[in-house]
Amino acid sequence: MPDKLLCEGFLFHNVLESGIDERVRPSLSSWEDAYKIVPPWDVGRPQPAFVELVKAGELNSGSVLDVGCGTGENALYLAGNGFSVTGVDLTSRAIAAARAKAAERKQRVDFRIGNALSLGFKNGFFDNVIDSGLFHTFTDNDRPSYAREIARILVTRGKFFMLCFSEKEPTGWGGPRRVTREEIETTFTPLFSINYIRDTSFATRIHNNGGKAYLTSATKIAA
């Protein structure tokens, strides 16, 4: 388990501590504050779980939306592997950092500020959506709205991949909500067919071998 004192010293205290409460969504200002330093999820490389998905050829070809993209490592990795990628994040600091990385690496990703609960894209716009550490920050009320919004912007048979902390990760250090398989099924089954919910790990700057996580693969079913 990561050191609670270590976490408490950081500016992202509000994000980490409010995230665990099912009724409180971290505020925009607490997300902006989190990016004044390098937050614990910002590991400077793509999440291994997404690298494996790409290597296994699990994504549909074409476009990908990385929702809650942070500073863009997963989005940039996908762009480097032949996908047409858009990254959306609520936080201007994260989007500025992601754009700077894309420019420096001479890569093309459309990074833009936006809200995952109300995305400015047409119905059926994307072939895939990935979520690395966003869903587990939402309240119970947000969850069905989020599922509807992701389903809306995905093409029928489009793929959704989500990495979130699981209930197997200890809560003693704070952090975002832990999610159960049943919660994932309840949230997404009305609109998606769930292919699997797999045990995996979530790389962070405060875990040695990653936090205990679920990787969900789901396919949007016809309305």
Minimum CB–partner distance for residue 222 and ligand SAH (Å) = 26
Local structure of 211: helix, strand or coil: strand
Cα separation values, 103 from 67, 134, 155, 170, 222, Å: 20, 25, 29, 38, 38
Q: For residue 90, state whether it binds ligand SAH (rule: CB under 6 A).
A: yes
Edge-to-edge strand ranges of the sheet holding 192-202: 110-113, 84-89, 63-67, 126-132, 154-165, 211-220, 192-202
Minimum CB–partner distance for residue 182 and ligand SAH (Å) = 23
Of 151, 195, 157, 200, the closest CA to residue 179 belongs to 200
Site for ligand SAH (CB under 6 A): how many residues?
Answer: 20
Q: For residue 87, state whether it binds ligand SAH (rule: CB under 6 A).
A: no
The one segment of 52-60, 66-74, 191-199, 210-218 that binds ligand SAH by CB under 6 A? 66-74
The one segment of 4-12, 63-71, 164-172, 207-215 that binds ligand SAH by CB under 6 A? 63-71
Q: For residue 85, state whether it binds ligand SAH (rule: CB under 6 A).
A: no
Alpha carbon distance 12, 36 (integer Å): 9
User: Rounded to the nearest 5°, which phi and psi values hold at 171?
Assistant: -100, -5
Minimum CB–partner distance for residue 68 and ligand SAH (Å) = 3
User: Rounded to the nearest 5°, which phi and psi values hold at 111?
Assistant: -90, 125
Task: Compare residues 91 and 128 and give the one whose CB is closer to ligand SAH.
Answer: 91
Q: For residue 69, state whether it binds ligand SAH (rule: CB under 6 A).
A: yes
Alpha carbon distance 69, 130 (integer Å): 9
Q: For residue 195, state whether it binds ligand SAH (rule: CB under 6 A).
A: no
Interface of this chain with ligand SAH, residues 22 to 51, rule: CB under 6 A: 31, 41-42, 47
Binding mask 92-121 for ligand SAH (x = CB under 6 A): --x--------------------xxx----
Alpha carbon distance 146, 183 (integer Å): 13
Q: For residue 132, state whether it binds ligand SAH (rule: CB under 6 A).
A: yes
Answer for which of 19, 68, 175, 211 binds ligand SAH (CB under 6 A) is: 68
Cα separation values, 169 from 21, 121, 164, 203, 213, Å: 15, 34, 10, 13, 7
Residues at the contact surface with ligand SAH, assessed by CB under 6 A: 31, 41-42, 47, 68-70, 74, 88-91, 94, 115-117, 132-134, 137
